């Protein structure tokens, strides 16, 4: 600022002269100081423009996912209460069916049960996602209402993502009174896992601790025996007996009463429609923090690891470069959103008689205010069947009986009633026939369209497509923007009909993409709408998201590792070893490692064999590879747990040196591996069974024993 300008402020001339002596730089030091001041000011003023830019995706951490879908979801989300007692009162419901689900099965059971209670017993019933309500408000449910919990156990005794908040509350709350709560409970689990149905057992113990009253015994489904569906139906029959005998409910003839409407609206333009893009809504806070948004990812490379008569194994590299908000860490999962095969889509459109109206805009609206719309709307029939509904899923006996009311002919109705009511007839039938919806309707009435079957019924009753999760088989240190997955594309014959094949939905969808990239047809002739909705997937792309995992390498690279994997369970260990190779290359010390790997035959399905041998050369005596082959001609049958037992002393030695233990593969295999390690520790230490069990619990609590298992 010039002295002439300062003089306008009536500052005395003498003071101005004195200031001018110091305001004018007189030497090199002054110029340096002035440059520093100017630089500091410029740096401050450029904040947020040239540096310290705000993260454009920062808002996603605070965004309520239910506000992102528009329509019914977006309009109602800001008015939803998190008080379940208040919700019951507002909607006039007297029974609530809570659900906690990871794969969608428990959720499907909850919706089926609520619908049947309403139709058969005339009781106003709603379903409730456990993550949508404040757990403490369950205490406010009056004793005139009933609560039913249908909850799955995920992994080794863990709650599903949407059960996390309720799980925390039931385990940590005190001074809570649930004396007014009358409840029933049903758990979904798998006895191949050590903690079979642990979640429903812990929830029931917690409810009773707070004074809640169970009006019937807990029900449990066992997926290890393939009996989940029949276990649920048997428990449901007992529940309905309680309705009749304890509560005096009167059963009425069940007729379909829709809770939502699906209407055509030809005034809408194609640009207005959701053509199959996945619903980006995440269930609950824990899901939002563990999973990234769904994005479109390119498959940059796909190669066959092996082919067999009943299986293809793929290695696929994907590219995150176009999605700067997506990152992964070694050990995370990649979720793939599949599409349905064209043949099944066309069959269903045909039997419903709506082939010519497949592209007509459809609006889905809730009739019942307690109904939550989870399919993006508006949409179309072709999008529903290609991308939103699991049309390849088997049809259960409950739904078969329900479908009879829409049958075009008396003969079709009688056929469905017999199939739905006769448990043995149904079991024999599905052992030789792949009974999805389109095939069932065509079989029951091959000559007439099911024009009376409303789309609303299908949207309400059919399971919605969910993503399938794959362990990432690359290291984020070595390949930060190109995660890879390892996929077994399965095609299995039915038990009593080798000519009737059942194709895995997502794995065969990925196989079709891989074949297309190499200008080859699917080996079983399956075709898919690979370009995706609005051609968003053209050129070999998929809808996918990243899910965080606890299956992680130790912080220090010197920690010894014992890794056990069978089949594609090798995937995360490929990533672990790749990372250890990179760490060694930069001069860091790495710990001793043993990798136990099992497959059928060394010449058939030994995946990544050349890569493992190359990494063994790089790592030298730091890596020991131990194989187990279950179908190697001329050699005794071996499984990974057998090899762990044989090398028990070496395993115990690494554990004693602070080693971390990892298992990836089927749950039954993981259980046997744990028995083998426990036996080795028991012999080496002279422990009792109790001491061995206590050690097992302790190492898992410290995350020194980690599992990534399924089925």
Give the pLDDT confidence of 473-520 residue by residue, as tens digits.
999 999 999 999 999 998 888 887 878 888 999 999 999 999 999 999
Radius of gyration from C-alpha coordinates of the chain: 30
Q: Which of these ranges, 189-198, 231-240, 574-583, has the smallest mean pLDDT?
A: 189-198
User: 108-133, pLDDT tens digit by residue?
Assistant: 999 999 999 999 999 999 999 999 99
- Cβ atoms 184, 215 nearer than 8 A: yes
Predicted local confidence at residue 27, as pLDDT: 62
- Tell me the C-alpha to C-alpha distance, in Å, between residue 591 and each of 478, 558, 614, 678: 19, 4, 18, 23
- Give the model's confidence band at 59: pLDDT under 50 very low, under 70 low, under 90 confident, else very high: very low
Q: Which of these ranges, 462-471, 486-495, 589-598, 671-680, has the smallest mean pLDDT?
A: 486-495
Predicted local confidence at residue 24, as pLDDT: 56
What ranges in 570-629 are assigned the alpha helix state H?
Answer: 571-585, 609-619
Residue 696's closest CA among 668, 667, 671, 664? Answer: 671
Predicted local confidence at residue 187, as pLDDT: 96
- Give the model's confidence band at 73: pLDDT under 50 very low, under 70 low, under 90 confident, else very high: very low
Predicted local confidence at residue 629, as pLDDT: 96
- Cβ atoms 364, 459 nearer than 8 A: yes
Question: Which token pair is 697?
Answer: 């619990």
Greater model confidence, 341 or 26: 341
With tokens 């999962």, the residue in question is 333
Q: Please tell us whether the domain made up of 561-710 is placed in CATH 3.40.50.80.
A: yes
For 46-58, what is the mean pLDDT? 46
User: 231-265, pLDDT tens digit by residue?
Assistant: 999 999 999 999 999 999 999 888 888 999 999 99
E strands, 39-181, are 95-100, 125-129, 146-154, 158-159
Predicted local confidence at residue 158, as pLDDT: 86
Q: How big is the CA angle at 233 (ends 242 and 457), to the nearest 5 degrees? A: 105
Taking the C-alpha atoms of residue 483 and residue 336, their distance in angstroms, rounded to an integer, is 13
pTM of the model: 0.84
**CATH class of this structure's domain 95-245:** alpha beta
Taking the C-alpha atoms of residue 545 and residue 155, their distance in angstroms, rounded to an integer, is 20
Taking the C-alpha atoms of residue 358 and residue 350, their distance in angstroms, rounded to an integer, is 10
For 578-597, what is the mean pLDDT? 97
Predicted local confidence at residue 69, as pLDDT: 38
Question: Which token pair is 248?
Answer: 């005096």
Predicted local confidence at residue 570, as pLDDT: 98
Question: 468-471 and 623-629: which strand pairing?
Answer: unpaired
In which element (H, E) is residue 143 found? none
Taking the C-alpha atoms of residue 543 and residue 192, their distance in angstroms, rounded to an integer, is 31
Predicted local confidence at residue 55, as pLDDT: 44
Q: Which residues pair with 205 in a beta bridge?
A: none
Predicted local confidence at residue 30, as pLDDT: 60
- Give the model's confidence band at 35: pLDDT under 50 very low, under 70 low, under 90 confident, else very high: low
Predicted local confidence at residue 332, as pLDDT: 97
For 428-435, what is the mean pLDDT? 88
In which element (H, E) is residue 530 found? none
Predicted local confidence at residue 12, as pLDDT: 55
Predicted local confidence at residue 217, as pLDDT: 96
Parse the chain into domains and list their residue ranges: 3-40, 95-245, 561-710
The answer to whether 95-245 and 561-710 have equal CATH topology is yes
Predicted local confidence at residue 285, as pLDDT: 45
Taking the C-alpha atoms of residue 636 and residue 626, their distance in angstroms, rounded to an integer, is 15
E strands, 504-639, are 541-547, 561-566, 593-599, 623-629
For 590-594, what is the mean pLDDT? 98
**Does pLDDT of 42 surpass 70?**
no
Cα pseudo-dihedral 419, 421, 425, 430, rounded to 10: 60
Angle separating helix axes 198-209 and 164-172, nearest 10 degrees: 40
Predicted local confidence at residue 499, as pLDDT: 81
Residue 661's closest CA among 554, 561, 553? Answer: 561
Predicted local confidence at residue 498, as pLDDT: 78
- Give the model's confidence band at 163: pLDDT under 50 very low, under 70 low, under 90 confident, else very high: very high
Question: Which token pair is 216?
Answer: 């019937």
DSSP 8-class letter at 160: P
Predicted local confidence at residue 656, as pLDDT: 97
Taking the C-alpha atoms of residue 200 and residue 159, their distance in angstroms, rounded to an integer, is 9
Predicted local confidence at residue 16, as pLDDT: 46
User: 438-472, pLDDT tens digit by residue?
Assistant: 999 999 999 999 999 999 999 999 999 999 999 99
Greater model confidence, 494 or 142: 142
Mark 654-676 as b/e (b = at least 16 C-beta within 10 Å).
bbeeebbbbbbbbbbbbbbbbbb
Taking the C-alpha atoms of residue 634 and residue 271, their distance in angstroms, rounded to an integer, is 63
Predicted local confidence at residue 559, as pLDDT: 98
Question: 497-503 and 541-547: which strand pairing?
Answer: unpaired
Taking the C-alpha atoms of residue 274 and residue 281, their distance in angstroms, rounded to an integer, is 14
- Cβ atoms 260, 366 nearer than 8 A: yes
Greater model confidence, 310 or 132: 132
Mean pLDDT for the chain overall: 89
Predicted local confidence at residue 25, as pLDDT: 57
Predicted local confidence at residue 552, as pLDDT: 96
């Amino acid at each position: 600022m010039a002295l002439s300008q300062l003089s306008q402020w009536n500052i005395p001339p003498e003071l101005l002269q004195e200031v001018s002596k110091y305001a004018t730089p007189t030497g090199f030091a002054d110029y340096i100081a002035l440059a520093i001041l100017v630089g500091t000011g410029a740096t401050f003023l450029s904040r947020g423009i040239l540096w310290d830019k705000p993260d454009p995706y920062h808002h996603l951490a605070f965004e309520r996912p239910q506000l992102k879908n528009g329509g019914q979801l977006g309009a109602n989300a800001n008015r939803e209460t998190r008080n379940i007692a208040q919700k019951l009162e507002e909607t006039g419901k007297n029974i609530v069916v809570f659900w906690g689900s990871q794969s969608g099965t428990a959720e499907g059971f909850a919706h089926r049960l609520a619908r049947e209670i309403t139709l058969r017993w005339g009781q106003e019933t709603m379903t409730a996602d456990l993550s949508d309500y404040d757990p403490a408000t369950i205490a406010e449910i009056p004793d005139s209402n009933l609560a039913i919990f249908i909850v799955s156990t995920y992994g080794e005794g863990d709650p599903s993502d949407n059960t996390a908040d309720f799980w925390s509350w039931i385990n940590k709350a005190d001074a809570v009174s649930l004396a007014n709560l009358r409840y029933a409970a049903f758990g979904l689990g798998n006895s191949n896992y050590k903690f079979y149905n642990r979640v429903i057992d812990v929830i029931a113990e917690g409810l009773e601790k707070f004074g809640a009253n169970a009006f019937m015994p807990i029900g449990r489904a066992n997926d290890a025996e393939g009996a989940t569906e029949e276990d649920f139906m048997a428990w449901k029959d007992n529940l309905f007996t309680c309705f009749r005998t304890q509560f005096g409910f009167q059963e009425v003839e069940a007729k379909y009463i829709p809770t939502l409407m699906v209407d055509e609206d030809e005034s809408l333009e194609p640009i207005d429609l959701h053509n199959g893009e996945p619903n980006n809504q995440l269930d609950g806070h824990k899901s939002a923090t563990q999973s990234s948004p769904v994005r479109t990812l390119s498959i940059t490379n796909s190669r066959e690891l092996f082919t067999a008569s009943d299986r293809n194994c793929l290695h696929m590299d994907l590219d995150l470069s176009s999605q700067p908000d997506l990152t992964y860490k070694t050990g995370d999962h990649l979720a793939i959103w599949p599409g349905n095969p064209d043949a099944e889509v066309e069959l269903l459109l045909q039997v419903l008689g709506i082939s010519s109206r497949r592209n007509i805009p459809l609006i889905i609206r809730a009739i019942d205010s307690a109904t939550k719309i989870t399919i993006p709307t508006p949409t179309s029939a072709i999008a529903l069947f290609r991308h939103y509904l699991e049309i390849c899923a088997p049809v259960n006996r409950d739904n078969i009986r329900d479908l009879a009311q829409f049958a075009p002919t008396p003969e079709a109705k009688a056929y469905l009633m017999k199939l739905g009511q006769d448990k043995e007839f149904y079991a024999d039938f599905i052992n030789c026939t792949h009974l999805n919806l389109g095939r069932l309707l065509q079989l029951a009435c091959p000559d007439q369209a099911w024009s009376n079957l409303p789309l609303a019924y299908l949207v309400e009753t059919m399971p919605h497509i969910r993503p399938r999760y794959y362990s990432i088989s690359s290291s984020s240190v070595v390949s930060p923007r190109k995660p890879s997955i390892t996929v077994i594309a399965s095609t299995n014959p039915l038990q009593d009909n080798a000519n009737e094949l059942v194709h895995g939905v997502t794995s065969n969808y990925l196989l079709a993409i891989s074949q297309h990239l190499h200008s080859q047809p699917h080996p079983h002739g399956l075709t898919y709408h690979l370009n995706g909705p609005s051609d968003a997937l053209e050129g070999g792309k998929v809808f996918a998201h990243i899910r965080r995992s606890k299956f992680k390498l130790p912080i220090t690279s010197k920690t010894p590792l014992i890794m056990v994997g069978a089949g594609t369970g090798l995937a995360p260990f490929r990533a672990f070893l790749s990372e250890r190779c990179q760490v060694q290359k930069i001069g860091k010390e790495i710990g001793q490692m043993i990798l136990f790997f099992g497959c059928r035959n060394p010449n058939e399905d030994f995946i990544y064999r050349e890569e493992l041998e190359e990494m063994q050369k790089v790592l030298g005596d730091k890596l020991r590879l131990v194989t187990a082959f279950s179908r190697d001609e001329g050699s005794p049958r071996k499984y990974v747990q057998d090899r762990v037992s044989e090398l028990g002393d070496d395993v115990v030695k690494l554990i004693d040196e602070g080693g971390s233990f990892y298992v990836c593969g089927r749950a039954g295999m993981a259980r046997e591996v744990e028995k083998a390690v426990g036996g080795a520790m028991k012999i080496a230490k002279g422990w009792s069974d109790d001491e061995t069990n206590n050690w097992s619990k302790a190492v898992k609590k410290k995350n020194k024993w980690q599992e990534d298992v399924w089925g």
